[in-house]
Chains A and B, each alone.
Chain A
Amino acid sequence: MTEAEEINGTEVEDDEQDSKQKKSDAKRHDDGAADLERVTDYAEEKEISAANISSAVEQFGNQRNKENELRVAKEKELQKVQVKKEDIELIMNELLVSKSHAEKVLREQSGDVVAALEAIISN
Chain B
Amino acid sequence: MPSSNPLPPKEGALFRKLLKCYELKQYKNGLKLAKQILSNPKYTEHGETLAMKGLTLNGLGRREEAYKYVRLGLRNDLRSHVCWHVYGLLQRSDKKYDEAIKCYRNALKWEKDNLQILKDLSLLQIQMRDLEGYKETRHHLFTLRPSQQASWIGFAMSYHLLRDYEMANSILETFSQSQTAIEAHDYRHSELLLYQNQILVESERLQQALDHLIKYQGQIVDKLAVLESMGDLYIKLKQHEKAVPIFETLIRRNPENVFYYEQYMLAGQVTEPRAVVAIYRVFQEQYPRALCPRRLPLNIASGAEFRIVADEYLRRGLRKGIPPLFVNVRTLHQVSEKAAIIEKLMLQYYENLTRSGHFSREDADAGAPVEPASALVWTALFLAQHYDYMRDTDSALEYINVAIDHTPTLIELLITKGRIFKHAGDPVEAYVWLEEAQSMDTADRYINSKCAKYMLRGNMVQEAEEICAKFTREGVSAMDNLNEMQCMWFQTECALAYQRMGRWGESLKKCHEVERHFAEIVEDQFDFHTYCMRKMTLRAYVGLLRLEDVLRQHPFYFKAAKCAIEVYIRLYDKPLKSEAAIEEIDIENLPPSELKKLRSKQRKAKKKAELESAQAAQAQVKREQHQKSKQQANQETDPDAPQLDELVADKLERTDEPLEKAIDFLKPLQQLAKDRIETHLLAFEVYYRKNKLLLMLQSIRRARAVDPKHPEVHSCVIRFIKSLASYAKQQQQPLNEHVQQVLDKATEELIGRKTPQQLNDEFIAKHNASIMHLYEGARSLYELDASKKAAAIKLVTSFNLSKMRLEEAVKIYTALRDGDVFGDCENEAAAYQQACHERFQYARIFRNVEELEAQLQEKEAARLRAEEEQQQLNHVDSSEQAVPVLATAAAAS
A positions within 8 Å CB-CB of B? 18-19, 21-23, 25-27, 29-30, 33-34, 36-37, 39-43, 45-54, 56-57, 59-61, 63-64, 87, 90, 94-96, 113-114, 117-118, 120-122
Contacts and interface: CB of A to CB of B under 8 A. Distances in A.
B409 to A, nearest CB: 35
A9 B642 CA distance: 37
A114 B147 contact: no
B538 to A, nearest CB: 15
21 contacts: A18-B475, A21-B475, A22-B629, A41-B25, A42-B23, A45-B148, A46-B150, A56-B146, A56-B174, A56-B178, A57-B142, A60-B142, A60-B155, A61-B139, A95-B692, A96-B695, A117-B694, A118-B742, A118-B745, A121-B697, A121-B746
A122 B150 CA distance: 43
Contacts of B475: 18, 21-22, 25
Given A30-B637, A53-B178, A114-B738, A40 B530 contact: yes
B736 A61 contact: no
Interface string B634-648: 000110000000000
A44 B348 CA distance: 71
B585 interface: no
Given A54-B146, A90-B738, A30 B633 contact: yes
A47 B694 contact: no
Contacts of B272: none
B733 interface: no
B618 to A, nearest CB: 14
Contact of A52 (B149, B178, B528): B178
A29 B473 contact: yes
A57 B144 CA distance: 10
Closest 6 CB pairs of A and B: A121-B698, A42-B23, A50-B147, A56-B174, A57-B146, A26-B633
A46 B147 contact: no
Nearest to B474: A25
A121 B695 contact: yes
A11 to B, nearest CB: 14
B698 A40 contact: no
Contacts of A120: 698
A67 to B, nearest CB: 8
B701 interface: yes
Interface string B4-46: 0000000000000000000111000000000000000000000
B180 interface: yes
Contacts of A43: 534
Interface in B137-159: 139, 142-143, 146-150, 152, 155
Nearest to A54: B146
B178 A48 contact: yes
B531 interface: yes
B879 interface: no
A59 B155 CA distance: 14
A48 B143 contact: no
B527 interface: yes
A41 B528 CA distance: 12
A96 B699 CA distance: 13
B629 A26 contact: yes
Interface in B143-189: 143, 146-150, 152, 155, 167, 171, 174-175, 177-180
A47 B146 CA distance: 9
B742 A121 contact: yes
A47 B629 contact: no
Contacts of A30: 633, 637
A49 B167 contact: no
Nearest to B132: A71
A38 B800 CA distance: 66
B726 interface: no
Interface string B691-712: 0111101100100000000000
B694 A33 contact: no
Contacts of A19: 629
Given A25-B473, A42-B25, 13 more contacts: A21-B475, A23-B633, A26-B630, A47-B148, A51-B180, A54-B146, A90-B736, A94-B739, A96-B695, A113-B738, A117-B694, A117-B739, A121-B694
Interface in B723-762: 736, 738-739, 741-742, 745-746
B199 interface: no
Interface in B283-328: none
Nearest to A97: B695
B663 interface: yes
B529 to A, nearest CB: 10
A61 B155 CA distance: 11
Contact of B739 (A42, A49, A57, A90): A90
Interface in B666-719: 692-695, 697-698, 701
A68 B530 CA distance: 27
Given A22-B475, A45-B148, A50-B147, A64 B139 contact: yes
Nearest to A18: B475
A42 B24 contact: yes
B686 to A, nearest CB: 10
Contacts of B531: 39-40
A36 to B, nearest CB: 8
A56 B172 CA distance: 11
Given A23-B633, A25-B473, A26-B633, A49 B692 contact: no
Nearest to B742: A117
B148 A46 contact: yes
A39 B527 contact: yes
A49 B181 CA distance: 10
Contacts of A40: 527, 530-531
Nearest to B534: A43
Nearest to B20: A42
A23 B528 CA distance: 29
Contacts of A122: 698, 701
Contact of B738 (A36, A37, A63, A117): A117
A46 B145 CA distance: 11
Identify which of B139, B175, B630, B738 gathers the most chain A CB atoms within 10 Å of its CB: B738
Nearest to B173: A56
Identify which of A52, A60, A122 gathers the most chain B CB atoms within 10 Å of its CB: A60
A43 B663 CA distance: 43
A95 B148 contact: no
Contacts of B633: 23, 26-27, 30
Contacts of B174: 53, 56, 59
A48 B739 contact: no
Nearest to A118: B742
A26 B139 CA distance: 45
B150 A45 contact: yes
A114 B741 contact: yes
Contacts of A23: 629, 633
A31 B427 CA distance: 41
B147 A53 contact: yes
Nearest to B119: A45
Given A46-B150, A47-B149, A57-B142, A37 B637 contact: yes
A117 B23 CA distance: 52
Contacts of A25: 473-475
Contacts of B746: 121
Given A25-B474, A60-B142, A114-B742, A48 B695 contact: no
A23 B629 CA distance: 8
A80 B738 CA distance: 23
A113 to B, nearest CB: 5
Contacts of A29: 473
A70 B568 CA distance: 47
Contacts of B24: 42
Contacts of A39: 527-528, 531
A56 to B, nearest CB: 5
A90 B149 CA distance: 50
Contacts of A96: 663, 692, 695
Contacts of B171: 60
B742 A45 contact: no
A27 to B, nearest CB: 8
Contacts of B745: 118
